[in-house]
Structure 1
């Protein structure tokens, strides 16, 4: 069995991604309520109680809202780095000690034939990190919630088969919106979120001959649109000689509806 995944939800209202192999399955973040998470799992024909664990990227509420309830209800292991655990603990309620596991920064943990690699991102959280999944020669990269993509990150995530990649905002829309300047400055900063254009430049630098699909993720509901994100990213990639629809597929995610469960 190959590695399959679904972006269950992606956006400022909540984030969750499901990844499975024949031996294990993981949920990356649970930024929606327990009931919403259960409905999303029903939608893709999977059961939360069958999960091998929950992997946490950082402690912001749109990534951890449902973690406590799911961990307690289903007895699931939860993995996060030490600083994230300290920041997250008061926010998710009591999780039994035997269900708490540490997943260090820039480490690899193996679960059967699945190797999961963590890497740091630049975001205003305690110690934010995302994950690369390796299974039988296939590579899935999840990277959102970062103000920029560093050379170190590019080295770790390069030439994946599939990317779930942040394309958070259109810079002009953000500058024109009604957000207070302090919030705009935070989003535009090196510890905020990447714009459509900056995301596309980073994509062009990690794109490889194995890359067949890129999912645009964590779009701002106020300062982006799916069509605009796709157009901006496509134009930048095409300007660098990367043909959308020929060399790879550029796909959407949604804050409320899961993507199809597909092989990497």
Structure 2
């Protein structure tokens, strides 16, 4: 039994995450154009027509931009909670009712051979939620777009084999950067995004003996750099007695390039 995944794109310009098992192929979010998503799938030798379902985290455009196009073109079942369905509204256009499904917050749904658990996060959206994939004794946790990581979130995602984890900004770069103050204040708030240091501190609490891979995701293109995110997270973990390379590794994600298809 194998579970494989790729972070197709991650960042403020668009997000999409792919996971497959022996019997299921799932996409979480479709925050790029249909054409861009098809190109990203081609990078990992896959195609959207192979998908069994599309799962939504929340209604922000960098997560749903291509959702309507993809769902209609490939007749994909789409899963989101009630409040997210309402909030997406006309942003996704008309989707046939037989393709629309409700995935409640705090629930577990089985897709073929994989159990998918939804959990709430703290973000300025209607009812944002992310997912943990359970398959063959393996656990893959996906968590971005949150202003802080609560104890409840930590309990849900702890000791995953793989984390795809937000490391959005460097606080110094953000404070000194070109964004207007109201945008900075939103990002720094409890319903914004977590910083590199906050990511390291949260990861220190959830990394377990099973953890092998950590993908740093949703990096700001204006207020972060891959090298800085990796260095800050690594240093923060080391201060808590967790050395990168001793059991687990850190990996980059990119807003325009898919990560290689990897095994959990």
TM bracket, shorter-chain basis: over 0.9
Partner of 1:20: 20
Partner of 1:243: 243
Partner of 2:73: 73
- Once the two structures are superposed, the pairs formed by residues 144-223 of structure 1 within 5 Å of their partners are 144-223=144-223
Contiguous gaps of at least 5 residues in structure 2: none
- Once the two structures are superposed, the pairs formed by residues 1-264 of structure 1 within 5 Å of their partners are 1-264=1-264
Q: Give, in angstroms, the shift of residue 89 of structure 1.
A: 2.1
Q: Give, in angstroms, the shift of residue 73 of structure 1.
A: 0.3
- Partner of 2:211, secondary structure, is coil
Q: Give, in angstroms, the shift of residue 112 of structure 1.
A: 2.2
Question: 1:49-98 CA deviation, whole Å, 9 max, x = no partner?
Answer: 11011000000000000000000000000000000000002210010000
- Partner of 1:132, secondary structure, is strand
Root mean square deviation of aligned Cα? 0.5
Q: How many residues align?
A: 264
- Normalized against structure 2, the TM-score is what? 0.99
* Partner Cα separation in structure 2 for residue 13 and residue 168 of structure 1: 13
- Normalized against structure 1, the TM-score is what? 0.99
Question: 1:161-217 CA deviation, whole Å, 9 max, x = no partner?
Answer: 000000000000000001111000000000000000001100000010000010000
Contiguous gaps of at least 5 residues in structure 1: none
Runs of 4+ in 1 over 4 A off after TM superposition: none
* Partner Cα separation in structure 2 for residue 216 and residue 171 of structure 1: 16
